[in-house]
Structure 1
Amino acid sequence: MAPENQPSTGPPTFNEENYHIWDIKMKAYLKALNLWDVFELGEPSIHPLRVNAIPNEIKKYDELVTRSPRALTCIYSSNTDVMFTSIMTCETAKKAWDKLKEEFEGNNRVKFVRLLALKREFEVLKMKDLDSVKEYSSKLMEIVSQIRILGETFPDQKVVEKIMVSLPNKFE
C-alpha cells in the first residue's frame, strides 16, 4: 500500500501517442510525489552534510540526495521501451523531460501552427445532414479539447454559438 499522500499507482505510461494528455497526467503524478520542481527547476544544489549533523538534518539531506534519482526513475518508468531508448542517455530528469517535450510538443512555432490549424478546423466544421447533434458536438469538443491542451483558453460560449449557428435548417 502506498504511503499517505502518495499515488497508489505507478506513473502514467507514454507510448508516443497523446503526448499532451500524458504530460498533464505525469505532472499531476510528479506533484503528488513532491518531485515536480526537480523537472521544472533542474538539479538542486546540495551542500555536504556537516560532521555533527542532527538526525533531522540527516533525514533532510537524504531526501534531497535521492530526489533527483527518484525523479529520473519516474520518467524512465513512465515510458515504453521504445520511448525509453530516446531518453536513456539523459542524466537528469529535467533533460529527459525537455527532450520528450521538444520531440512531441515541438517548439512554440510548431504549437502556434498547430493551434491555427485547429482553430481553422473548428471554424470550417459544419454539421452534415446525417449527423446527430451529439455526433457534431462531439467532433467540435474534440477539436476544442486539443486547443485547450495546447494551452489556449477557449470559452464554452464560443462552442455553443458555433453549434447554434451551424445547425441545419431542419433544426430551426
Structure 2
Amino acid sequence: MWAVRVETYLEALNLWEAVEKDYIVPAILVNPTLAQIKAHKEMQNHTSNEIWDYLKNEYERDERIRWMQVLNLVRDFEMQKIKETETVKEYDERLLSIANRVRLLGSSLKDSSNVEKILVTLPEKFEATVTTLENTKDLSKIPLA
C-alpha cells in the first residue's frame, strides 16, 4: 500500500520517471550542508531505482513487524481476565493500555470491544449488573467510561 501511494505521489509530481529510468544520483553540491553530506553518503553509488527498492524493502519489513506486534497485542487483549484482587477500573485500565498500544501501531480496537470484554470476563458478583446492562442498553453504544 505504501509503495502504491508513494508511486502515485511521485507520478503526480512527474518524478516517477527518475525511478523508472534508473537515474544515477548526482555528485554532491559545492558547499553542502551537513544534512546534504549525510544524505549523499547514504545514497552514494546508487541509482534512483536501487534507492527506491531499498526504501520499499525497508518499509515492507517495518509493516510486517508492525502487523505482527498488532496481532500479538490483540491476542494478549483476548487472553486477559480480571484478577480476583483487581478492581473493574484497574482491569479497564489494563485493557485500555493494550488498546492504546494497538492504536500507536496504526490499528485499533473499538471501545465496544473493551466494554464487551469487561462484561464477559467480570466475576459472578457482577452478574446482576451485567444482565441489567444487557437488557436495557445497546452494548455497542455504551461508552467505556
TM-score (norm 1): 0.40
TM-score (norm 2): 0.47
Higher relative contact order (CA 8 A, sep 6+): 1
Higher helix fraction: Structure 1 or Structure 2? Answer: 2
